[in-house]
Amino acid sequence: MYTIFLTLSKYILIFLMAIYTIQCFSVFRLPDISKRDGIYIRQDIIMALIYLIAFTVMYLRSADTWLLILYALTQVTFVAFIMLYRFLYPEASKLLVNNMCMLMSIGFIILARLNFSKALKQFSVALVSIVIALVIPYILKRFKRLRRFYMLFAAAGIIALGAVLIFSTAVNGSKLNIRIGGVSFQASEFVKIIFVFSIAGMLSCMKSGYRIVIATAAAGIHVMLLAASKDLGGAVILFIVYVIMLFIATGKFLYFILGTAGAVVCSIAGYMLFPHVRVRITAFTDPVSSIDGAGYQMAQSLFAIGTGGFEGMGLMDGAPSRIPVVEADFIFSAICEELGVLFGICLILVCASCFIMFMNIAMRFNDMFYKLVAAGLAVTYGFQVLLTIGGVTKFIPLTGVTLPLVSYGSNSIMVSLIMFSVIQGLYVSVRSANGTER
């Protein structure tokens, strides 16, 4: 019986994940909110079953009682988070709340399997972040003058990135973290959010003759500071986010075309100026030929995904630790190796449903400031998912960004939860104003 359960567990997990994913898109077909409650309840049950089965398999294979403790702590936290969110914000999107917990639960499953101490640390940060996430919608619902502080947001972002450039120590060629009072954090992660607020304010509040010039200058300074710190993943995200926000604000395809052309020019310049970019391009074009050097990480990622196949090796049966930095940048490869490519595809679709919901919320606003904030955060999230998964599957060159709510990283999970909570706050505001859900 023990052996049968372990053998069948990976198929059960894929089946449950597929059902959960289908439910994510079934929501959009039902305009009546009362008919959606059944979907959300089914998602809650499926989520709990996936989490229980995964930790049971890991415990049976390792006999580590600490896994049961982590399971109990995280499961109670997820249930409490879902119940509190629905109690405090009945207008909030239940789909986004469920997806937040589902993505975090997948992250904890893989982290507990890869590195228990990191999973425990991730949980401690997630716990603090969840408390913050519960407060943010309340603040946004009552504080409606954020648009006035766009210059303050821009200044804060520039100062933070400038401090990283000046005071940070380069790690693997890039300056990412800054230490204040013994606490190290990645400023660019937090700047993503305030950057969106600053650009939204400039494009919606300033006079038409100046808004594009000032917004472009502010965005350019942010991107150049990130490029100077060699945080090219962050620079690419902010550049794309600005181009799309500018297009939404003006409706002019010319800006989109110019932005695309600018991205091509910057990519060529990055290849010429930065050696580590050339290394990543080499690893992207032919990782196997340079497997002893630049291509090792990418080659191991592709081997892991290929070894797992559609159904996966099964939890604890793969060897994802062969991939350097697997807990952060390459966590999707570990998921595909042990849980299967089908499970990975479902994970991508869950992320896609989040992005669709974000854009759905953005399109409901008549107020340009809030429309741009929601759209900017949606693009930030969606593009980061694309960069992460595209990088580890050799669809695009590696950029070194994490998979939101799944990858290991104190700054990453905190900023991702804040981002989802800001979107929820906007959603609560628009539903309170309209009195209906569409």
Q: What is the pLDDT of residues 5-25, one digit of tens each?
A: 777 888 999 999 999 999 999
Query: Closest Cα to residue 297, out of 283, 307, 311, 285?
Result: 283
> Which residues are 186's β-sheet partners?
177
Residue 345 has pLDDT above 60, yes or no: yes
- pTM recorded for the entire structure: 0.91
Task: State the pLDDT at residue 181.
Answer: 62
d(CA 230, CA 235): 9
d(CA 44, CA 82): 9
Query: Closest Cα to residue 426, out of 162, 260, 152, 197?
Result: 197
Residues contacting residue 360 through CB under 8 Å, at least 6 positions apart: 28
pLDDT band at 108; cut points 50, 70, 90: very high
Q: Which residues of 115-153 are buried (b: 16+ CB within 10 A; e: fewer)?
A: bbebbbebbebbeebbeebbebbeebbeeeebbeebeeb
Task: State the pLDDT at residue 214.
Answer: 87
Residue 432 has pLDDT above 50, yes or no: yes
Task: State the pLDDT at residue 128.
Answer: 93
Q: What percent of the chain has pLDDT over 90?
A: 42
Q: In what helix (H) or strand (E) does residue 300 lie, and over which residues does it extend?
A: helix 296-308
Residue 410 has pLDDT above 50, yes or no: yes
Between these two residues, 352 and 181, which has the higher pLDDT value? 352
Give the strand pairing for 177-180 and 183-186. antiparallel
Sequence-ordered alpha helix ranges (H) in 115-149: 116-142
Q: What is the pLDDT of residues 233-262, one digit of tens each?
A: 888 889 999 999 998 988 888 878 887 787
103: tokens are: 């993505």
C-alpha of 203 from chain center:
25
Task: State the pLDDT at residue 437.
Answer: 42
